[in-house]
Structure 1
Amino acid sequence: MIPVAKAQLLEGKKGLIVGIANDQSIAWGCAKAFRALGAELAVTYLNDKARKYVEPLAQELEAPIMMPLDVGVPGQIEAVFERIEKAWGELDFLVHSIAFSPKDTLQGRVVDAPREGFLTTMDVSCWSFIRMAHLAEPLMRQGGTLFTMTYYGSQMVVENYNIMGVAKAALESAVRYLAAELGPKGIRVHAISPGPLATRAASGIPEFDELLDKAKAKAPARSLVSIDDVGMATAFLAHDAARLITGETLYVDGGYHIID
């Protein structure tokens, strides 16, 4: 069950969570944290196959809106925001926690990336966040916060991360530009950079278990991050107490990124 927070710090806030695949997803950790702090949530699921895993989680969140969203399907992003506008008329925060690269593109060298695979990687992993920000802007009349998920491989070459590192670098740059453009309207924009997590998305990265072991051994905290750690850090940034923090890449990794 979702724990009930003693202080409903986000009571009255409404947000969209994109990217819950199952109860191991980073997006699920975020959703739990936002709900525990009193926020009302809309959630999406990728397709009919994913729905059976997401629907019980949406029920646990008491989410009044649950819709399919495959950003590769024309019109589905727009349909979600149209539903939110009709149901709520406003939006306070958005969590974008999706990324994808075709297997042959992800597992090959960056220098060998086929054009189609590169474009698909950038479309899903970066452009979809820009598009969602565009659609969220008119719903955030009183300001709001936009979040996306990134990884250390955007800044440093991480073995086997390959083309996704390129996409995440573009995503982090987009965060800075969006923060500059939307800041005058009171809209803050952040990239959240967790340490390695054993999620379904990460399973596509070769030798991922070795990466987890390395992170635990090197991080100053000597601990792997959990989806709940990521969720609470993300939820804090949606609170008014963080109103002057924007355009940042926040590392939630036990300090791993500071170690050579």
Structure 2
Amino acid sequence: MNINNQFLAGKKGLIVGIANEHSIAYGCAKSLREAGAELAITYLNAKAEKYVRPLADQVDARLVMPLDVEEPGQMQALFAAITEQWGQLDFVIHSIAFCPMDDLHGRVTDCSLPGFQQAMRVSCYSFIELARHAEPLMKNGGTLLTMSYHGADKVVENYNIMGPVKAALESTTRYMAHELGAKGIRVHAVSPGPLKTRAASGIAHFDALIDDATQRAPQHRLVDIEDVGATCTFLVSDGARSLTGQTIYVDGGCNIMA
């Protein structure tokens, strides 16, 4: 690790959403650690722990704890541990989403109420919860980042109900940026192009989506988790101190194309 590149030394952050080495959240963790940040990492459950702990070790995570946002008390326990360990927090990266498969693969018109509620609960409301718990620990300001997708803004075939859910997430980002700005807390949605992650594998005909994005993007290539990690590292840094409330596309320019 090059000491001259430690521009995030002293910053402490929470990363939620690592499932394996292909996760966007892991790309963020690697980049942030290389820049000198200290990290707290969560895993979903006992089954996921065996995959996440070795990755947490690779980025020297100070805390590794479970977080299922649908399990009462787990978020409170996580932030109690962060408060005890550090007493402060400089950034949070929220990279989780879920929708029951039947609702994800069906029409928006046919989405069930329980499916819609669960998708919103896990994919959107959990970001609000994280922000609420992080706010008192961001005594000197901070950065809150969540992951969106182009389907929030345009109709993407087979993205279905996750489009409206991500649209709500992006709107939430703007409102929280407004509410928390006076405290020096910046809030962004990062919108990567399609990536071959475990979560994306649930989208029907995902390979066709990958091929289309590669052909349409001006750079004619897919982005990877390192690209997203580098962008998030910049957004956490003081170099992005005047940016907030944005949806930042990391997609090789695909979003500008008709």
Distance 1:255 1:147 in 2: 20
Pairing 1:102–2:100 present: yes
**TM-score w.r.t. length of structure 1:** 0.98
**Alpha-carbon shift at residue 195 of structure 1 (Å):** 0.2
Aligned twin of 1:74: 72
**Alpha-carbon shift at residue 4 of structure 1 (Å):** 4.4
Distance 1:166 1:65 in 2: 34
Distance 2:209 2:57 in 1: 34
Distance 2:9 2:207 in 1: 39
Which of structure 1's runs of 4+ aligned residues deviate more than 6 A? none
Unaligned runs of 5+ in 2: none
Unaligned runs of 5+ in 1: none
**CA deviation map 1:2-26 (0-9, x unaligned):** x546310100000000000000000
Distance 1:223 1:28 in 2: 21
Distance 1:221 1:154 in 2: 22
Aligned twin of 2:176: 178
Pairing 1:215–2:231 present: no
Task: Assess if the C-alpha contact under 8 Å between 1:193 and 1:251 holds in 2.
Answer: yes
Tell me the amino acid that sits aligned with residue 187 of structure 1: I
Aligned twin of 2:165: 167
SS of alignment partner, residue 28 of structure 1: helix
1:200 pairs, out of 189, 194, 198, with 198
Tell me the amino acid that sits aligned with residue 58 of structure 2: E
SS of alignment partner, residue 189 of structure 1: strand
SS of alignment partner, residue 26 of structure 2: helix
Distance 1:157 1:11 in 2: 41
**CA deviation map 1:63-116 (0-9, x unaligned):** 110000011111111111111011100000000000000011111111111111
SS of alignment partner, residue 14 of structure 2: strand
Tell me the amino acid that sits aligned with residue 238 of structure 1: V
| Deviation larger for 3-12 or 155-164 | 3-12
2:90 pairs, out of 86, 89, 92, with 92
Distance 1:107 1:76 in 2: 30
**TM-score w.r.t. length of structure 2:** 0.99
Aligned twin of 2:226: 228
The 1:5/1:54 distance shift into structure 2, 3 A limit, reads farther
Task: Assess if the C-alpha contact under 8 Å between 1:5 and 1:36 holds in 2.
Answer: no
**CA deviation map 1:17-39 (0-9, x unaligned):** 00000000000000000000000
Distance 1:17 1:4 in 2: 23
The 1:15/1:222 distance shift into structure 2, 3 A limit, reads same
Tell me the amino acid that sits aligned with residue 167 of structure 1: V
Tell me the amino acid that sits aligned with residue 190 of structure 1: H
SS of alignment partner, residue 6 of structure 1: helix
What's the RMSD between the two structures over aligned residues? 0.8
| Deviation larger for 77-86 or 201-210 | 77-86
